[in-house]
Structure 1
Amino acid sequence: MGFGEQLRHWRERRKVSLSGLARATHYSKGYLSRVERGLRRPERLLAELADEALGANGKLVEAWVSEFGEKPMLRSSAGGETTKRRTFLKSASTALVAPALAEPSPSADAVSRLRDALVPDAPAQVTTLVPAHLARAVTRARRDFTAARYQGLADDLAELIPVARSAADPAGHALAAQVYHLAARTLIKLSAPPYAWVAAHQAEQAARVSGDLRAIAEARRDMVSLFHRADDYRKARDLTASAAELLRPHLPEVTPAARGAYGALMSTGAIAAARLEDRHSALSMLEEADEAAQHAPKLVLSAGHVMTYRIGVSIILGDAGTAIDHARHVTPDEIPTVERRASYYIGIAEAYTLWGKTDRAVRALLVAEKIAPAEVRRSSPRRVIEDLLHRDRHSNLSGLRALARRVSVTL
């Protein structure tokens, strides 16, 4: 039997539907159907993920090697290693297929366009847009951000920023603040913090004029993120605390989206507090974030979102076991955005690296890459990849060196 037939055999043997296998492997149902019918050559990663998810004990990997004549992506392991990998894949098996994949690498041109929109060389021409149209454009931009489509989003925001300058009333300034906020977060994702500071400052100004609590919370979160990236953890933590004092009395009367923005701010501040080894503040902020998530739209902030920050806090505090325990208490489909779902797996990879479970760390990174390649090209996962390469300079960790090449990490 060829690989496609073997895949169907094991799937039916385990009584797993195509949809179930799609959730486990992050490949679409249509793609899997074509592979089973021999109409599509599968990637090596599919063979590995399907083998683990279906408990085929290496048979699917062998079938792939036999048909396509290449070495398997992951070395077969003796004893308990197969069981160990399957334990990790048990959490991965409930993940949803990512609705869209980010571009392979953001271009410098996209960053430049966003920079020039924020700080034009000449007096900028004010562009007007019907408020309802701007609101819809902002909604689309938010959707692209949560799907980790950062390069295209940068181009769209570059066109929205001149519109944001035309804001003339509180509602208009609230929308403008959201545009600048998305610009700041996109520039952070594209590793352009100097320009992100400009966008964050403009978001803060527009939010203050608008008086909109969601806009204020989002703008303050941008500042917290940037102070954190500048290694000024004390300023980031204290800024979060002061924002909480300002916003907390109004929470009972704000919109659900504003509650979500507040919770996201608290989650980000918790990371900075953990960097200071301020466990009490970090955990208190996460408790507030959990409370906010109960009242927020799931795409803005869910319990799964907050759990990714709990994982991050535990890793920073040096408690890999607690981080993995947190990961086991949430399934990936409880994290509704691609950006955060990829962060979930990157957090797992960091925890397993800290714990010395290097094979599982590599697997988590590969799953994160499949969900949102742009997220794996950011500084934090790149540091994990560098660490893993240092641990095994001969690339015995299967798939690691190929991943390092794809994200331009070298020793």
Structure 2
Amino acid sequence: MWEAAVSVERRWTELPEARHAAVVGDYGSLLRVARTAARLTLSEAGERCGYSAATLSRIERGKQRLTDVTVLRRLAAAFDIPPELFGLTDDGATGSRQSRSTIGRLLGEGAYREVGDDPLRRRDVLGGLAGLVGSTFAADPEALAAPPSRVVTSLEDILLGNTVPPAGPVDAAQLRSALAHAWSDFRACRYARLSARLPQLVATATAHYETVADGRRTMAAATLTRTYHLATQVLIKLHEDAMAWSAMDRARQAAREADDPLLYAETARISAIVLRRTRHGQRAQQTLLSAAQSLDGCTKLTSPAEVAVYGRLLATAAYTSALADQRATAWELLNEADEAGRRSGAGGGFAGVDVALYRIGVARVLGDYGAAVEYARALRPEQLGNVERRARYWEDYALALHGRGAHREAYRALLCAERIAPQEVRYRPWAQQLTTALLSADRRQALPDLRGFATRIGVAR
């Protein structure tokens, strides 16, 4: 099989048109030869490399010149084009060779395995795990109560088209400022205000993208992608998985036009979270590992921001492996993410402290509650960069304590989460479900004012 693959490569690279295109620097024609040799349509090729079919068509026809080294490396990696044909040298040694071999091996093996080997048995086990979440918190808390309708209703308008488009032209600078403020709300866990802002924000970003001149379309696509990233993240938080799926799809479409490998990698990461939550775990893991491999191939991880995004992909893949009880794979990937975090420093908002936060979650979903508690005690929440991350810390810490049967300590952690992020506790199902479990365990009313707390966050007694 390997020999056959090599033979195919030699055939297309030795074609006269391929040789001529490489000699004269006609990289668009070279790309077309590589794509047709792989028997890919423009749409299929776009899925592989993260560009739209229209963009690839412009590149192949010479309407959009290929001069950026990062883009050339990205296309070379996506279509197995020898770098030297694009005038490149294989000099990218910044990335971790160990990480690359790990990802390649896991992709070859099929890194994600559902619990159990038999598909029918696997579905039964997964169904059983979903039913156990409320009492044990051993798995990712996905099957949870619906959030308050007043928070969700405004988010539905995003995808149902019930928002009023802006009158007149959109000011791009004002749009980016509004998006930055919305992301600030998300990081501060101000979900109610954010959900009220999102419909008009998405409508404005969409109108801007659809009406902007061709020369500024790429930037408009990037802004629209980040807007849908935010919408998807909010919908994930509120466990509105069907709407999150739709928002994810729109983010992917916009990201193809954005022509930004970092943006496309982050789109893949968020997409994988939605896939995982909708019981497509294997596809989620493949998406994460393929995105990490592609990002490495096209950028060579030469900047802190690139390494940071790479590390974030690996950390998310580690958590995904933990949910499938793939212990060795989960810790291996998290160790690789830790290495990336150290190399990136604080670049891109991902560093060793973020890996430490993932360690708590990975240990918890693996059922290693004692280890999760120890990891949590070793990390000071004030080290985490924003309220949303600190809320995640208290979530994992509280659930791990509950898993150990330390109900009083779990309640204290829940109160800490409410103190720093009241809407995280009021609107997120994990807190409501943990409160219900504590009420069931607290028959002697040993926890002070637990029932008052439950009433405050809307949990029926």
Give the TM-score taking structure 1 as reference length: 0.67
- Judge conservation of contact 2:238–2:429 (CA < 8 Å) in 1: no
- SS of the equivalent of 2:413 reads helix
* Aligned residue among 346, 360, 370 for 2:395: 346
**Shift in Å, 1:397:** 2.2
**Shift in Å, 1:121:** 5.1
Whole-Å separation in 2 of the counterparts to 1:215 and 1:127: 28
- SS of the equivalent of 1:369 reads helix
Alignment of 1:76-87 (within 5 A): none
Q: Which stretch of the first structure deviates more once superposed, 321-330 or 174-183?
A: 321-330
Partner of 1:374: 423
- Judge conservation of contact 2:305–2:348 (CA < 8 Å) in 1: no
Alignment of 1:190-269 (within 5 A): 190-253=238-301, 256-269=304-317
Whole-Å separation in 2 of the counterparts to 1:351 and 1:298: 30
Q: 1:327 to 1:137 in 2, by over 3 A?
A: same
AA paired with 2:399? E
- Judge conservation of contact 2:163–2:203 (CA < 8 Å) in 1: no
**Shift in Å, 1:179:** 0.3
Whole-Å separation in 2 of the counterparts to 1:343 and 1:323: 13
Q: 1:254 to 1:269 in 2, by over 3 A?
A: same
AA paired with 1:409? V
- Judge conservation of contact 2:147–2:428 (CA < 8 Å) in 1: no
Partner of 1:181: 229
Q: 1:260 to 1:403 in 2, by over 3 A?
A: farther
Whole-Å separation in 2 of the counterparts to 1:123 and 1:290: 45
Q: 1:386 to 1:237 in 2, by over 3 A?
A: farther
**Shift in Å, 1:220:** 1.6
Alignment of 1:2-401 (within 5 A): 108-120=149-161, 128-165=169-206, 166-167=208-209, 168=214, 169-253=217-301, 256-294=304-342, 295=344, 297=346, 300-376=349-425, 377-401=427-451
Whole-Å separation in 1 of the counterparts to 2:455 and 2:375: 31
AA paired with 2:450? L
Whole-Å separation in 2 of the counterparts to 1:118 and 1:372: 27
Unaligned runs of 5+ in 1: 1-104
State the identity as a percent: 35
Whole-Å separation in 1 of the counterparts to 2:164 and 2:391: 40
Whole-Å separation in 2 of the counterparts to 1:108 and 1:285: 38
- SS of the equivalent of 1:408 reads coil
Number of equivalenced pairs: 307
Q: 1:402 to 1:267 in 2, by over 3 A?
A: farther
Partner of 2:100: none
* Aligned residue among 419, 431, 452 for 1:402: 452
AA paired with 1:198? S
Q: Deviations over 1:344-390 (max 9, x none)?
A: 11211111111122111111111011111222242223332233222
Whole-Å separation in 2 of the counterparts to 1:122 and 1:371: 32
- SS of the equivalent of 1:409 reads coil
AA paired with 1:352? L
Whole-Å separation in 2 of the counterparts to 1:112 and 1:313: 33
- Judge conservation of contact 2:295–2:301 (CA < 8 Å) in 1: no
AA paired with 2:278? A
Q: 1:296 to 1:153 in 2, by over 3 A?
A: farther
- Judge conservation of contact 1:275–1:317 (CA < 8 Å) in 2: yes
Q: 1:372 to 1:248 in 2, by over 3 A?
A: same
Give the TM-score taking structure 2 as reference length: 0.61
**Shift in Å, 1:297:** 4.2
Q: 1:285 to 1:142 in 2, by over 3 A?
A: farther
Q: 1:253 to 1:317 in 2, by over 3 A?
A: closer
Unaligned runs of 5+ in 2: 1-145
Whole-Å separation in 2 of the counterparts to 1:203 and 1:163: 15
**Shift in Å, 1:200:** 1.0
**Shift in Å, 1:185:** 0.6
Q: Deviations over 1:267-298 (max 9, x none)?
A: 33322210111123222332343344342647
Q: 1:334 to 1:370 in 2, by over 3 A?
A: same
RMSD (Å) for aligned C-alpha atoms: 2.7
